[in-house]
Amino acid sequence: MRKLVYTGFTSLDGVIDSPGGGPGEPHRSAGWVFKDLEFVPEAWTLKGEELEDTSALMFGRKSYELFAPTWPGSEDHAAYKELPKYVVSTTLPDDAVVDDWGPITFLRSLDDVAALKQSDGGAIYIHGSGVLAQRLGDADLIDQYNLLVFPVLLGAGNSLFGRADRDKRMLSLRESDVYSNGIMKLVYDVKR
């Protein structure tokens, strides 16, 4: 069975959208990851560790449409280029595949995601994709959360976790660290 891992940056109040900023962002605090915080290299080691564990990537439609124009040619994301990518979308047409970015497969339902998890292979990492992460979390399909929690309260923005009235889920802390700039690394396994 394959492990599905959500990796992301979150504010202390749980906001995950607009960490890098950019045009048309939905709230005034867009770009919060790189603003007003001292750069501490060790706070980013989690990203290198993840790369060693990643066998495939998964995106929701919006993140795919944001990343697909830039990640294939990005030196920062070169190691991801040839990895298989899975895009969960009911609206993207089959011809929305980006050239020169490795194999891309569209999954049309949460059942497709559950079937993918039952296949052979390594860990699948979800980057961005807040709406997808909420849906997968509510369906109990995410196995691990790798979070860098930033010392900021944003108020506005999309949360990693949905607010559905469902059974509670317990998490087991696998790894944690706190860095001099206030960022916390939290790696949790979902207990089953």
What are 33-49's pLDDT values in tens digits?
Answer: 888 889 999 999 998 89
User: What CATH number has the domain bearing residue 155?
Assistant: 3.40.430.10
Within-domain flag for 46? yes
For residue 58, what are the domain limits?
A: 4-18+29-190
| Residue 128, in any domain of the structure | yes
Question: Backbone phi, then psi, for 55, in 5-degree steps?
Answer: -110, -15
Mean pLDDT over all residues of the chain?
92
- Spatial contact of 25 and 157, defined as CB atoms under 8 Å apart: no
pLDDT band, residue 77 (cuts 50/70/90): confident
Tell me the pLDDT tens digit for each residue of 124-176: 999 989 899 999 999 999 999 999 999 999 888 888 988 888 888 999 999 99
Residue 65 to residues 13, 41, 91, 115: CA-CA distances in angstroms? 26, 29, 12, 24
* pLDDT tops 80 at residue 97: yes
Question: Which of these, 112, 114, 115, 81, lies nearest to 98 by C-alpha position?
Answer: 81
- The verdict on residue 127 lying in a domain is yes
**118 in any annotated domain:** yes
Q: With bands split at pLDDT 50, 70 and 90, how would you rate the model's confidence at 20?
A: confident
What length does the chain have?
192
Q: Is residue 109 part of a domain?
A: yes
Long-range contacts of 67-74 (CB under 8 A, 24+ apart): 67/127, 67/128, 68/98, 68/101, 69/98, 71/101, 72/98, 72/100, 72/101
One-letter amino acid identity for 135?
Answer: R
Can you give the pTM of this predicted structure? 0.93
Residue 172 contacts residue 36 (beta carbons within 8 Å): no
- Does residue 82 register a pLDDT over 70? yes
Structural domain total, the chain: 1
- Asked whether residue 183 is domain-assigned, the answer is yes
Q: Is residue 157 part of a domain?
A: yes
